[in-house]
Every structure is written in C-alpha cells, then in structure tokens.
Amino acid sequence: MIDADVLISNGRVAAVGAGLRADHTIACDGAWVGPGFVDLHTHLREPGQEHKEDIASGARAAAAGGYTAVLAMANTSPAPDTADRVQWVLDRGEAVPDVEVATAGAVTRGRRGEELADLAAMADAGIRWFSDDGDAVATADLMRQALVILERYGAIISEHAEDASLTAGALIHEGEVSRLLGVKGMPAVAETLIIARDLLLSAETGGAVHIQHVSTAASVELIAQAKAQGLPITAEVTPHHLTFDHTELKGRNPLFKMKPPLRTEADVAAVRDALRAGIVDVVATDHAPHAPGETEEAGLASGAFGIIGLETAAAAVNTALDFDAETFFDRLSMAPARLGGFDDHGAPVTVGQPANLTVFDPAQHWTPERFVSRSRNSPFIGRPLRGRVIATVHQGRATHRIDTP
Ligand SMILES: [Zn+2]
C-alpha cells in the first residue's frame, strides 16, 4: 500500500503518484483506494418480484456499497434457465450504468430440481456461474450430470448447501435458542451433508463447486480438507454470518431469519478464521430484498428468509475482522473478480487498468438507517459500524459519493 493520488482519465487509471491535479476531485484523506468490490451472490429480483428490487435499483444499491460488479442469482420468475433468458438479464444489466451485471444460470429447469436446464447453451452464451440458489441442486444424480457437462466449459456450480428433508418447516438454527423458543430448527448437518456430497462428486468428475454462504465450523473443516486434496473447491461467507450468532433470535426478530441460519458463537469464530486464512475465499452478500410486509411485520414464523446486504457488507466485514487493506480488497474484490470471471474488475490500482474503484475509510464510524435499495430488511439498522464507503467509481464515473464529515 502506498500514499498517493489517483488520476482517472477516459475510464482508466491514468496516473498514480503525489500532487496530481484534475478538474474533479474526491477527497480520500486517510481512506483506502482499491479495486471496486465484486459480489458473487446478489438477488436482483427481476424478473418477477420487482416490488422488492429490480436490476436498476439493485445496481444503485451495489454502487452505494462500493461494488462495481454483481452476479445475479437465478431464483427469479421465470428463472434464467435458457440462453435467451440469461441474455435477457445481461441485456437489462448492460443498460444499467452503475455496475457491471452478470448472472448465474439455473442448474435445473425452472430451478425445480427435476431435469437439467440447457447448461451447454447457456455456457456457449458465456455463462460461467450456475446455481439453483434458494435450494440445493436437488439430487446427487443431477449434480453429477451438471458437473460433467460444465467441467468442459471451466464453469462453476455455486451451491446452496441445504438438505431440504432436514430443514422443512424449520425457522432458525437447531440449538439452545430454537429449544428456548419452541420452534423447529435447522441442524448444522443439513449444510454439511450437501457439502460432503458435492465434494465427493467434484472429486469424481473434476467439476468445480463453489460453496455459498458457509455457516458452520464443520463446513469449514470439509472445505479445508477438499482444498488440501487439490479439489476445485471455493467458498464464500456473508457479512451477517461473520457478525451475528443465533442468540440474536431470542427476541424473535424476523430480520435475523435467514438461510442458512445464524449459528453458534463457535461457528462465527470458525468462519471468521476461515476467511482470514483464505479457506473461505470471498465475502458475498446474499443481498435478499423483501418488502416490509414480508419480513418485519410478518413475524418470525411467517417472515421471509434473508436480508439485504450490499450497502453494509464492507463496513460489517471491517467491523468484524479488522483486516489490513490487502486482505480486505482481496476478499471483497480481487478473489471474487477472479472466480466470477470479471476481467475489468479486481485488479490492483495501476496505470492503464479500468477505473473501477472503491474509496473506503476504515476508521469512520456510522450507523445504517436509510438504504438506496428498494427494500430495507436489514438487521444492521441502528447498529454502529466502523468503516465506510466514501465513493465508488465505475468506468471512470463516480456512481456514489458521500460528503466527508
Ligand atoms: Zn442461498
């Protein structure tokens, strides 16, 4: 890390050094300037649930959170399960100036877990990331066939590891809090069973698997073993699993209801250590917008799973982990850009690189209250955080900036 000005011209980094002059400036004193964040797990809700978010509003929320690229998940209606449908999402994303928008293709037709989607046609259209997120790929047979096909394209299956037979009707983590509240819990083994299945299938087929939102210490152990064996396995963790444990649910606040659920204090410590060590490769938001009537007002039993995350992710990570600048930008930008194939993102700030940048002040304290996202289902509301995105630059244009105090 060096102390310097950054000059941007024609959408690229034109100079890095002391005393640079330009027509427009962003004050960055004391802040880090690094490559823009890249999110491999964003629910943009379009098509089908635009009252929660759409591609344009999600892109604006992403920019406000320091992101310059996002990868949309496939649990929309309809799901992007054909070359035409993924192209529709990419075209909508192309029209949005704030961030680069990529999309996952669904692994199975309609994400129904019955038959494979047209994986080869989507891969031929340039899709490199496939997921039935919201659900795991339903059977070992479908997962195995998909890995065989996608291995030929160097594509990755991003897996929501949840054995649905163990979690039906469950609301939160199975443990002391679920027993206290008298609600059905999701056991940790519901996550590790699917991870173990997928690691074995990856070893057999050579296909690459990315484990989404890792939440348990046992999951970390399985992933570490697979990596030690040289398997093509990567993993992500969310800011909320790095921050909260299941005791937050004692007050039955539905804003702490998500999948996978918030786990124990020991699990939080394990996923923090794993991200620090690089066993878990990246931070991903699992930004999951829901309207107020679907979350806060609905109560714990009937409230929707999931929370928004784009605008609080970087601050939450900085608050929980206190990384140095190199590790921070690696986990939020460089590693996800590499994994998701975002060639114009995640590079060190050097002359000639595309000007996709984030200015982050690691010392600034603030408290989230309002959001750019169309939804506001966030358990971070009213919680003091340390570290703030001061500005975001996409293709040389400021897509977000706040006035420094
Ligand atoms: Zn998921």
Cα of 398 vs centre of ligand 1, distance in Å, is 31
Q: How far apart are CA 54 and CA 64, in angstroms?
A: 15
Distance 161 CA to ligand 1 centre (A): 8
Domain count, the chain: 1
Whether 395 is in a domain gets the answer no
Cis link prior to 47 (omega < 30° from 0)? Answer: yes
Q: From the CA of 118, how far away is ligand 1's center (Å)?
A: 21
Q: Which residues, including other chains, have CB under 8 Å from residue 323's CB and lie 6 or more apart?
A: 276, 317, 331
Q: Is 59 helix (H, G, I), strand (E, B) or coil?
A: helix
Q: Whole-model pTM? A: 0.97
**Known active-site residue 286:** yes
pLDDT of 404 reads: 56
159 inside domain: yes
Angle at 55 between CA 77 and CA 90, to 5 degrees: 80
pLDDT in tens, 104-122: 999 999 999 999 999 999 9
Extract the runs of DSSP E, i.e. beta strands, from 57-160. 67-72, 100-103, 129-130, 156-159
Q: Which of 377, 379, 358 has the alpha carbon at shortest distance from 32?
A: 358
CA of 394 to the centre of ligand 1 (A): 27
CATH of the domain at 234: 3.20.20.140
336 lies in a domain?
A: yes
Note whether residue 160 is domain-resident. Answer: yes
Q: What are phi and psi of 271, to 5 degrees?
A: -70, -30
* Helix, coil or strand: residue 394: strand
**In the structure, what pLDDT confidence band is assigned to residue 28 with cuts at 50, 70 and 90?**
confident
Q: Which residue segment(s) compose the domain that 373 sits in? A: 35-347+363-386
Question: Cβ atoms within 10 A of the Cβ of 22, count?
Answer: 13
Catalytic annotation, pick one of 81, 286, 330, 344: 286
- Looking at the domain assignment, is residue 177 inside a domain? yes
In a domain, 207, yes or no: yes
322 SS3 class:
coil
Which residues, in sequence order, are CB contacts of 159 under 8 Å at separation 6+?
131, 136, 137, 194, 195, 198, 209, 210, 211, 212
Kindly report, residue by residue over 325-359, the tens digit of the pLDDT.
999 999 999 999 999 999 999 999 999 999 999 99
Q: Is residue 9 part of a domain?
A: no
* Centre of ligand 1 from the C-alpha of residue 283, in Å: 14
